Amino acid sequence: MQEAQSLEHVQSFVKKEKISLLYISRPNCSVCVSLLPQIEELLEDYPQIKSLYINAEDIPEIAGEYSIFTVPVIIVSVEGKEMLRKARIVPIEELNQQLYKMTSLMDD
C-alpha cells in the first residue's frame, strides 16, 4: 500500500482511481497497526481496488477534509464518490463481502 505525502496527493488519488481505498490511521494506535496487514491481505483479492495509506499525524488536515473523528478509518470511493466508510472496529469478513459486491457490480 503506497503512503500519501499530502492532502493534495490523497485528493488526486481518489479522483484518478476508479475504485480507491483510503486507510487512515495513526502510528500510536494499536488497532490501526494490527488492522493494516489484514486489510493489505484482503486487498490481494481485489487488484482493481487501489489503496492509499494516510498517517493522520503527518497529514492532520485529513481529519477536516474527510470528517475523521477516530482511527482507523477505511473509506472506499468509486469514481471519486465515497461509497463505503468503516471506522474503529472493522469486521474483515463484512468488509470483504461489501468489497465483493461493489467490485462485482463494477465488472458487469
Q: How far apart are CA 81 and CA 74, in angstroms?
A: 14
| Radius of gyration for the chain, computed over Cα atoms and rounded to the nearest angstrom | 13
14-44 pLDDT, tens digit per residue, is 999 999 999 999 999 999 999 999 999 999 9
pLDDT greater than 70 at residue 107: no
Using DSSP bridges, classify how beta strands 19-25 and 73-78 pair: parallel, antiparallel or unpaired: antiparallel
99: left (phi over 0), alpha (psi -120 to 50) or beta: alpha
43-73 pLDDT, tens digit per residue, is 999 999 999 999 999 999 999 999 999 999 9
Model pTM?
Answer: 0.94
Predicted local confidence at residue 81, as pLDDT: 95
